[in-house]
Structure 1
Amino acid sequence: MSLMRLLLNILWLLTGGLWMAAGWVLAGVLLAITIIGLPWTRAAFSIAGYTLLPFGYRVVRRDEYTGQADLGTGALGFLGNLIWLVLAGWWLALGHLIEAVALAITIIGIPFAWAHLKLAGLALWPIGRMIVPTDELPGGRGYSAWG
């Protein structure tokens, strides 16, 4: 991890990243307890890790990255995302939006507010996405917390 990524991730943790990662973990635990929510638990924990340290990683569509469609990128993934949206997605997106508004008030917080807005979009529709290190993406495909 470069020094810049390390500094950005430390600042991110201090400006709300830790709380939002805890929100993702809580959503994952609650979904796991229901047994029915187990398919969404893995996505929630994966995104919790990304929310904890987002700089240096990107979110990409899994079918575009691997070159193959799978259950999460097809019709079942669409249905899973709709169910996720109702159960947990909008709550997490709202949390990211509140963080973004609070951070956008200061000039130094604007890049972090932008990252929260991107995470709010991911919170609404996470299934069929994967998180990969930025270094593994030719041409900067996908979107990262920074740009």
Structure 2
Amino acid sequence: MKTLLNIIWLLFGGLWLALGYFFAGIVCCLLVVTIPWGIASFRIASYALWPFGRMVVDKPGGHGAFALLGNVIWLLVAGIWIAIGHVVTAFAMAITIIGIPLAIANLKLIPVSLMPLGKQIVPSNTPYVTAYSHDRRY
């Protein structure tokens, strides 16, 4: 079912979203100062290309001062506008019954588009403990 939803997603918006994030990543990597946002944009592009069966989690140790500052700058410059775009397209996708899962996937992109630094994308069937196996406290 995940594969079918991903193919439908790819045809009805996922490809364009991924290309947009990929292009933004290239532009960000051209400027030396914005390389962290470029890398985050490439990460979001891969998620936007094939979202079903994957989820966004906090990266272990990714909550430093630089990530916080970078996320605040990203939020003010681009994050708000990208999130608004995801909400608008989610409403458009939710008009049909077939589009409802696509709209939910579009809404799943909002948190990572608002605060991309310090996040990672993992398979959704990965248990939380194995994704953070180093974070166990004995």
Q: Return the TM-score normalized by structure 2.
A: 0.85
Residue in 2 that maps onto 1:16: 13
Counterpart CA distance in 2 for 1:114 and 1:47 is 16
Residue in 2 that maps onto 1:32: 29
1:81, CA displacement in angstroms? Answer: 0.3
Residue in 2 that maps onto 1:129: 119
Residue in 2 that maps onto 1:144: none
Give 2:110's match in structure 1, choosing from 113, 120, 126: 120
Secondary structure of the structure 1 residue equivalent to 2:33: coil
Counterpart CA distance in 2 for 1:34 and 1:125 is 20
Counterpart CA distance in 1 for 2:57 and 2:89 is 23
Runs of 5+ in structure 2 lacking a partner? 132-138
1:24, CA displacement in angstroms? Answer: 0.7
Runs of 5+ in structure 1 lacking a partner? 64-68, 142-147
Residue 99 of structure 1 contacts residue 113 of structure 1 at CA under 8 Å; is this kept in 2? yes
Residue 27 of structure 1 contacts residue 88 of structure 1 at CA under 8 Å; is this kept in 2? no
Secondary structure of the structure 2 residue equivalent to 1:135: coil
1:33–1:91: structure 2 CA closer, same or farther, 3 Å change rule?
Answer: farther
Give 2:84's match in structure 1, choosing from 75, 91, 94: 94
Secondary structure of the structure 2 residue equivalent to 1:37: helix
1:93, CA displacement in angstroms? Answer: 1.8
Off by >6 Å, runs of 4+ in structure 1: none
1:138, CA displacement in angstroms? Answer: 4.3
Identity %, equivalent residues: 50
Residue 52 of structure 2 contacts residue 105 of structure 2 at CA under 8 Å; is this kept in 1? no
